[in-house]
C-alpha cells in the first residue's frame, strides 16, 4: 500500500471552507455524521475503497465519547469471561492490527498487575491466572507475537512491589502480570483517522451539525456561520455514538456512564505498570490505575446506566470519585483522598439496548442497522473495534469493493520515526515528529513547554492549528493536546493556546 501524501492530510481552515462550498454542489457516495472514532473510521474505510466521502461533525473531532475512554486497546479477555468468544477474538485481532500495523506509534504494550493480596483468596488468584492464560491464547489466535505483547506470568513480591511501589504490603503473595494495548491518546487516534481519510480525498468538516437525515443526504448547519445547507449523498451513515437517537428516532440505546479520576504518578510512587483491584462483592469488575506518560495516572472505571437527555459533556459526581478512590485505596499502603486528585472526566458508552441487567454486563458488540428512511446507523461497539465497525458499515454501502484498512497505516505510522527531535514528539506524532519540530523554524522557545509545569511544547499547538483541524483554544487544550485532563495544566496553558490561535489567524 502506498503511503498517503502528508500535506494532503492537513485539515486547514481554508480546506474546510472549500470543502463545504464543493459539497453544496456535488453528490458524494457517502455522508458520515459524527467525528468520533466510529465516524472517522468509516470515512477512512470508504475513502480507501475509492468512494467519495463527506464527514460532518457538530463540534471538534473527538468531541464525544472517543476522548473519554480508558485508552485501552482491549484484547477481549473480559468478553471471554462472559462467554462471548466471537467478540473476544475480534477484539484481540483488532488490537494486533493497531499495535503492529496501522498505529504502532500510538499503541503500546501495557503491563498490568493484579496484586495477590490477602483480599484475593488462592482460588480466586488461580481463576484470575487461568483467565490471563486464556487471554494469551486469544493473542496467539489473533496472530500477535509475544515480542509485541508478552506472555503473562506470576510475579514475586519483590517484582510486584518494584512495578507498583505503592501496593499494600500486608499479606502480599506476589502478583499476576498480564499485558494489553494502551493508546498514547484516544483523541489522537481519531485525528489520525480523520487526517488519513482526508489524505485519500475525504472531506472532513468540523463545526457542522446535521439537523436531519434521509437516505439520500441531510441538512446541516455550519456552526461557524449559521448557514444551513443540504448535502446530497448516495448513502448516509449516522455515527453519532451515544447521540444516534437525536437523528434516528427508531434506534434504541442503553447509555452507560463511565468516570475516571486523574492522579499525579507521585501519589502511587510512580508505578511502572497498571494496577488492577477487584470491586468488592462484584464478579468480573475491577478498578484500574493506568499510568500514562507526563507523570499522570488515570483511575477508572464506573459503569452506571444513564437516563434522560444526554449532556454534551458529562460531569463527574463526588460519589463517583469517592467510589474509585475507595476501591483503589484497598490495594494501597496509603489510602488516597480527594486532595490527591488533579483532574477528572466522564463519558457515555453507546451500548446496545434490549437486555436487562447491569450495564457492565451488556455486550460491547456493535451492529449496523438500516432505518425505514434508508439511513444506516452504527450502534454499540468500542474504540478497539472501530475498524471492524467501519468495515461492516461500508460493506453495507459498497459490498463489491473490498476493505483495505487492515493494512493501511495511519498518518504518523508511515516510515521511520525521525532522529534528533524531542522524544515526546516522537511518542505523540510518530513519523511526523520531524515536521512538527520543524515548525519551530529556528525559534528555540517553540520547542519548550508552553507554560511552567506543563508537558506540551509550543510547536504542538501550531501543528494542531495548521495540520490537525483545531479551530479554537478548547480544541487545542482538550483534544489536540490533553492539557485539560489536569486542571492546573489547563489553566496554565490557556494563554498560550489563545496566543497560538491569534498567531496562526494573523495574516
Ligand atoms: C468511560 C469510558 C471508557 C471507555 N474505555 C474504552 C477503552 O478503554 N477501550 C475501548 O476500546 N473502548 C472504550 N470505551 C468505548 C469507546 O470509547 C466508545 O465506544 C467509542 O469512543 C464511541 O465512539 P463513537 O465515534 O461511536 O462516538 P463518539 O466518540 O461519541 O462520537 C460521536 C460524535 O458525533 C458527534 N455528533 C453528535 N450529534 C451530531 C450531529 N447532529 N451532527 C454532527 N455530529 C454530531 C459528537 O459531537 C461526537 O463527536 C469507553 C467508553 C467510556 C464511556
pLDDT at 353: 72
pLDDT at 252: 79
HSE-up of 156 (CA within 13 Å, CB side)?
2
Handedness of CA 393, 395, 396, 397 (dihedral sign): positive
64 Cα: distance to centroid of ligand 1 (angstroms):
5
Spatial contact of 81 and 57, defined as CB atoms under 8 Å apart: no
Q: Using CA positions, which residue lies closest to atom 27 of ligand 1?
A: 241
Separation between Cα atoms, residue 209 and residue 219, nearest integer Å: 8
Spatial contact of 130 and 114, defined as CB atoms under 8 Å apart: no
Q: Using CA positions, which residue lies closest to atom 37 of ligand 1?
A: 240
pLDDT at 506: 66
Atom of ligand 1 at shortest range from CA of 312: 47
pLDDT at 6: 46
pLDDT at 5: 43
Chunked into runs of 10 residues, the chain (507 residues) has average pLDDT values of: 61 96 97 98 98 98 97 86 86 97 97 93 91 94 97 98 97 97 98 98 98 97 97 98 90 89 98 96 90 97 86 94 97 97 95 58 74 92 95 96 98 91 96 97 96 98 97 98 98 98 81
406 Cα: distance to centroid of ligand 1 (angstroms):
21
Spatial contact of 351 and 360, defined as CB atoms under 8 Å apart: no
- Taking the CB of residue 445, how many other CB atoms lie within 10 A of it? 10
382 Cα: distance to centroid of ligand 1 (angstroms):
8
Q: Is the pTM of this model over 0.75?
A: yes
Q: Using CA positions, which residue lies closest to atom 21 of ligand 1?
A: 66
pLDDT at 359: 53
Torsion of CA 382, 182, 476, 197, to 10 degrees: -60
pLDDT at 78: 78
Atom of ligand 1 at shortest range from CA of 211: 41
pLDDT at 463: 98
pLDDT tens-digit profile of 42-91? 999 999 999 999 999 999 999 999 999 999 999 888 787 778 888 999 99
Residues in the ligand 1 pocket, defined by CB under 6 Å = 33-39, 56-59, 63-66, 68-72, 74, 209-210, 239-243, 246-247, 258, 301, 347-350, 381-384
In angstroms, the Cα distances linking 35 to 54, 55, 59 are 11, 7, 8
87 Cα: distance to centroid of ligand 1 (angstroms):
19
474, three cell numbers: 478548547
Q: Given ligand 1 and candidates 58, 69, 313, 364, which is best to mutate, with the most ligand atoms within 8 Å of its CB?
A: 69
What is residue 74's DSSP assignment?
-
pLDDT at 365: 79
In this structure, are strands 256-264 and 107-115 parallel, antiparallel, or unpaired?
unpaired
Atom of ligand 1 at shortest range from CA of 208: 43
Handedness of CA 493, 61, 206, 463 (dihedral sign): positive
68, three cell numbers: 473519554
Handedness of CA 180, 186, 191, 193 (dihedral sign): positive
Q: Given ligand 1 and candidates 240, 324, 345, 366, which is best to mutate, with the most ligand atoms within 8 Å of its CB?
A: 240
357, three cell numbers: 441487567
Spatial contact of 187 and 59, defined as CB atoms under 8 Å apart: no
350 Cα: distance to centroid of ligand 1 (angstroms):
7
In angstroms, the Cα distances linking 415 to 103, 278, 409, 430 are 12, 41, 9, 9
pLDDT at 367: 87
Amino acid at each position: 500500500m502506498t503511503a498517503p501524501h502528508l500535506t494532503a492530510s492537513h485539515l486547514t481552515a481554508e480546506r474546510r471552507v472549500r470543502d463545504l462550498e464543493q459539497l453544496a454542489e456535488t453528490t458524494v457516495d457517502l455522508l458520515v455524521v459524527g467525528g468520533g472514532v466510529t465516524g472517522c473510521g468509516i470515512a477512512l474505510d470508504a475513502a480507501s475503497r475509492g468512494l467519495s466521502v463527506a464527514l460532518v461533525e457538530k463540534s471538534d473531532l473527538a468531541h464525544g465519547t472517543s476522548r473519554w475512554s480508558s485508552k485501552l486497546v482491549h484484547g477481549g479477555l473480559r468478553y471471554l469471561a462472559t462467554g462471548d468468544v466471537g467478540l473476544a477474538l475480534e477484539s484481540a485481532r483488532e488490537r494486533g492490527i493497531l499495535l503492529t500495523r496501522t498505529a504502532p506509534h500510538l499503541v503500546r504494550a501495557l503491563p498490568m498487575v493484579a496484586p495477590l493480596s490477602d483480599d484475593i483468596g488462592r482460588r480466586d488468584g488461580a481463576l484470575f491466572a487461568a483467565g490471563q492464560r486464556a487471554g494469551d491464547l486469544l493473542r496467539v489466535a489473533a496472530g500477535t507475537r509475544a515480542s509485541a505483547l508478552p506472555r503473562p506470568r506470576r510475579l514475586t513480591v519483590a517484582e510486584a512491589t518494584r512495578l507498583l511501589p505503592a501496593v499494600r504490603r500486608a499479606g502480599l503473595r506476589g502478583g499476576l502480570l498480564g499485558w494489553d494495548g494502551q493508546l498514547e491518546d484516544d483523541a489522537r487516534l481519531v485525528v489520525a483517522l480523520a487526517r488519513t481519510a482526508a489524505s485519500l480525498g475525504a472531506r472532513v468538516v468540523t463545526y457542522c451539525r446535521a439537523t436531519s437525515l434521509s437516505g439520500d443526504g441531510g441538512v446541516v448547519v455550519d456552526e461557524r456561520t449559521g448557514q444551513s445547507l443540504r448535502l446530497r449523498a448516495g448513502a448516509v451513515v449516522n455515527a453519532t455514538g451515544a447521540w444516534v437517537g437525536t437523528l434516528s428516532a427508531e434506534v434504541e440505546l442503553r447509555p452507560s456512564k463511565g468516570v475516571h479520576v486523574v492522579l499525579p504518578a507521585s501519589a502511587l510512587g510512580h508505578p511502572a505498570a497498571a494496577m488492577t483491584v477487584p470491586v468488592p462483592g462484584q464478579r468480573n469488575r475491577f478498578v484500574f490505575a493506568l499510568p500514562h506518560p507526563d507523570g499522570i495516572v488515570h483511575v477508572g472505571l464506573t459503569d452506571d446506566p444513564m437516563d434522560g437527555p444526554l449532556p454534551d459533556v458529562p460531569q463527574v459526581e463526588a460519589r463517583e470519585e469517592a467510589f474509585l478512590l475507595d476501591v483503589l485505596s484497598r490495594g494501597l499502603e496509603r489510602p488516597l483522598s480527594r486532595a490527591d486528585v488533579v483532574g477528572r472526566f466522564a463519558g457515555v458508552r453507546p451500548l446496545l439496548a434490549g437486555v436487562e441487567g447491569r450495564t457492565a454486563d451488556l455486550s460491547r458488540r456493535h451492529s449496523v442497522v438500516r432505518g425505514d428512511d434508508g439511513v444506516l446507523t452504527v450502534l454499540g461497539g468500542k474504540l478497539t473495534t472501530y475498524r471492524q465497525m467501519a468495515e461492516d458499515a461500508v460493506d453495507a454501502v459498497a459490498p463489491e469493493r473490498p476493505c483495505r484498512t487492515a493494512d493501511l497505516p495511519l498518518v504518523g505510522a508511515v516510515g521511520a520515526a525521525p532522529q534528533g527531535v524531542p522524544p515526546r514528539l516522537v511518542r505523540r506524532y510518530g513519523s511526523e515528529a520531524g515536521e512538527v519540530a520543524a515548525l519551530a523554524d529556528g525559534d528555540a522557545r517553540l520547542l519548550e513547554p508552553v507554560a511552567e509545569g506543563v508537558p506540551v511544547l509550543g510547536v504542538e499547538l501550531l501543528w494542531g492549528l495548521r495540520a490537525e483541524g483545531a479551530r479554537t483554544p478548547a480544541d487545542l487544550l482538550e483534544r489536540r493536546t490533553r492539557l485539560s485532563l489536569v486542571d492546573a495544566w489547563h489553566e496554565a496553558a490557556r494563554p498560550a493556546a489563545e496566543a497560538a490561535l491569534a498567531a496562526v489567524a494573523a495574516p
